[in-house]
Copies of this chain bind each other. A is one copy, B any other.
C-alpha cells in the first residue's frame, strides 16, 4: 500500500503540534497540508511557530517549509484524510465541509463526538464501532476520539466491563495543564495551587466512556448503561492526566481476575502491529505509589495506559489509579492510531 496524503487542521495549536511531531516519517501518511487561521495562512510553518512551538525538541524538518493554508477542502488538493485539532468554535462546520468534499476527518474536537453514527473511537476498545460509518451520508467519514481525561479510564475499564459488567464508576481526575492548550491556564491560577473545576469536563467524563463502551445496533451506537460520577481537577503537572477510579461490578471479580483481565488485554492495534500501537495497551505497576506522571508518562512512547494501586473499595468494589498521556494517548496519538486502524481496514 502506498502512503496517502493528509492534512492537519489546527496545525498551530497544541494538538496540531503533536500531530505534526507524531506524523514525522509515518509509514502510512504523508502530511502535505497544514491548515490554520487567516493570521497564519500564507507563511511557512517554521516562521509562524518560531515562538509557539512548545514541544521539547525542534519542529520536524518536513513541516518547516510547508506554507500554511486555510482549513478549506477546496485548497487541500490530493488530501484523502484530515487530522483535526481545530478549536471547538469552528471544528463542527469545517469538519463537515471536509466530509462533504470527500475528505475523511479524524478529529480530536468534541463537536461530533456524540452524534449517534459517529464513532467515538479508541482503537483497542471499540474498533467494531467503525461499522456505523456506512450510515454517514457524506462521502468523507468523520471519526472522533474521546476527551483526554477519560481515554485511559475507558481503556482500563474495557476488559473489566467485558468480563464482569459494571454498575457504577466514580472518577476523580488530576489533570495536566497541557490539556487546556496554549496559552491555556494562566500561571497565576495554578502555580502551587489546584483548581477543582474544568469547564464542561465532568459532563464529558460522565457520558463519553458510555459511548466508547457501547454496542452498535442498526447503524447506531447504543451507550453502555452504567452510571459515572466525575470530579475533575486541574493540577500543576505539565503532561499526564492521573485519575482515581472506584468501580462497582455486576459480577464480583477477585484481585487476580482484574489483574489478569488487564494483562491479557489486547486489541486490533496490537494484532495488526499498527505503527503507533503500544505492545501492551495497559501496564499494571506493582509499586505502591505508582503510576506517577513524571515516572510513567512515556510508557509505550506515551501510548500505554498505566494502572496501579488496585485495592478493595469499602463502598463500591475495587479502586485503582490510572494515568495516561493526555496529548499523546489522549489526543493526537489516539487519533493517529484510529487512522492507522482505518487504513489497514481499507476504510480510507
Q: Which A residues are within 8 Å of any B CB, using their own CB?
A: 50-51, 53-54, 56-57, 168-170, 172, 174, 177-178, 182-197, 206, 227-229, 231, 233, 235-238, 242, 244, 246, 287-299, 308-309, 313-316, 319, 321
On whether the beta carbons of A293 and B193 are closer than 8 Å, the reply is yes
- Indicate the member of A228, A295, A313 with the most B CB atoms within 10 Å: A295
| Nearest CB in chain B: distance from A303 CB, A | 14
Interfacial chain B residues near A186, Cβ < 8 Å: 182-187
Interfacial chain B residues near A191, Cβ < 8 Å: 177, 187, 190-192, 236, 238
Interfacial chain B residues near A187, Cβ < 8 Å: 177, 184-187, 189-191, 236
Cα of A169 to Cα of B314 in the assembled complex, Å? 10
| Nearest CB in chain B: distance from A251 CB, A | 19
On whether the beta carbons of A314 and B244 are closer than 8 Å, the reply is no
On whether the beta carbons of A237 and B54 are closer than 8 Å, the reply is no
Taken together, the copies of this chain in the complex come to 4
On whether the beta carbons of A292 and B244 are closer than 8 Å, the reply is no
Cα of A56 to Cα of B188 in the assembled complex, Å? 11
Nearest residue (CB) in B for A321 is: B196
Cα of A195 to Cα of B285 in the assembled complex, Å? 14
Interfacial chain B residues near A172, Cβ < 8 Å: 172, 231, 244
- Indicate the member of A51, A186, A319 with the most B CB atoms within 10 Å: A186
Q: List 25 A-B contacts (CB under 8 A).
A: A50-B287, A56-B294, A56-B296, A56-B297, A57-B295, A170-B170, A172-B231, A174-B233, A177-B187, A182-B186, A182-B188, A188-B238, A193-B292, A194-B235, A194-B292, A195-B289, A196-B291, A197-B290, A197-B309, A227-B314, A228-B314, A229-B246, A231-B246, A235-B235, A238-B294
Nearest residue (CB) in B for A168 is: B315
- Indicate the member of A56, A193, A194, A289 with the most B CB atoms within 10 Å: A194
Cα of A288 to Cα of B237 in the assembled complex, Å? 22
| Nearest CB in chain B: distance from A302 CB, A | 11
- Indicate the member of A51, A170, A228, A321 with the most B CB atoms within 10 Å: A170
Cα of A191 to Cα of B294 in the assembled complex, Å? 9
Cα of A235 to Cα of B191 in the assembled complex, Å? 11
In the complex with contacts A194-B242, A229-B319, A244-B196, A206-B293 CB distance below 8 A: no
